[in-house]
Amino acid sequence: MTMTGLGALTAEVLTLLYETHAKALHRYLARRLDTATADDLVAETFLQAWRERAKYDTTRGTARAWLYGIATNLMRNHARSEVRGLRALAREHARTVQSAPADETAAARVDAANEASKLADALARLRVAERDVLLLVALAEFTPAEAAEALGINVTTARTRLHRARQNLREALATKEIPHD
């Protein structure tokens, strides 16, 4: 949905924006955070959109990207907690002694847990700017151009950050060990 006059954003237009984008925005936030925090951030996103409606520049992009940009900025307030949680998950798994699996199902679970731990640690180690682009593309199904629009950066920067994030994740997941702090 492209808006042409958000400076005159009415309650009806905000309701339409909410009906159009809230579920997808919530899914994106819930994948990065917990559901309760996602609920709060969706509400805060629309509250902030209402407060900042006069600042929205319709020539810079879509209302969808504007809303995701607001949500991503709000989510950055939670970034330290997110990183701490990912690192704690990786450390906890590293401390857990995995015994030899009794069957293929157990072996698959152990392998999946090892990979999840490595992925959590690798995500925690990414620069916030790289993680934001990567997760907008992976979880919100944005194109790099849409992610750039949402984050207020140019497309080349978004593509570079996405490339670096993917490269770092590939390298981290290719190692045999789970990194420790």
Domain boundaries, the chain: 6-76, 79-174
Indicate the fold that domain 79-174 takes in CATH.
Arc Repressor Mutant, subunit A (1.10.10)
Helices (H) and strands (E) in the chain, counts: 8, 0
| Number of other residues whose CB lies within 10 A of the CB of residue 109 | 13
Would you state the structure tokens that stand for residue 135, as one six-digit string?
């997760």
Name the average pLDDT for the chain: 82
Model's pTM, two decimal places?
0.63
d(CA 13, CA 122): 40
In one-letter notation, the amino acid at residue 120 is A
pLDDT in tens, 1-21: 444 445 556 788 889 999 999
- Ranges in the chain, pLDDT < 50: 1-5, 97, 100, 178-181
Indicate the fold that domain 6-76 takes in CATH.
Rna Polymerase Sigma Factor; Chain: A (1.10.1740)
Would you state the structure tokens that stand for residue 103, as one six-digit string?
């069957």
| Number of other residues whose CB lies within 10 A of the CB of residue 44 | 15
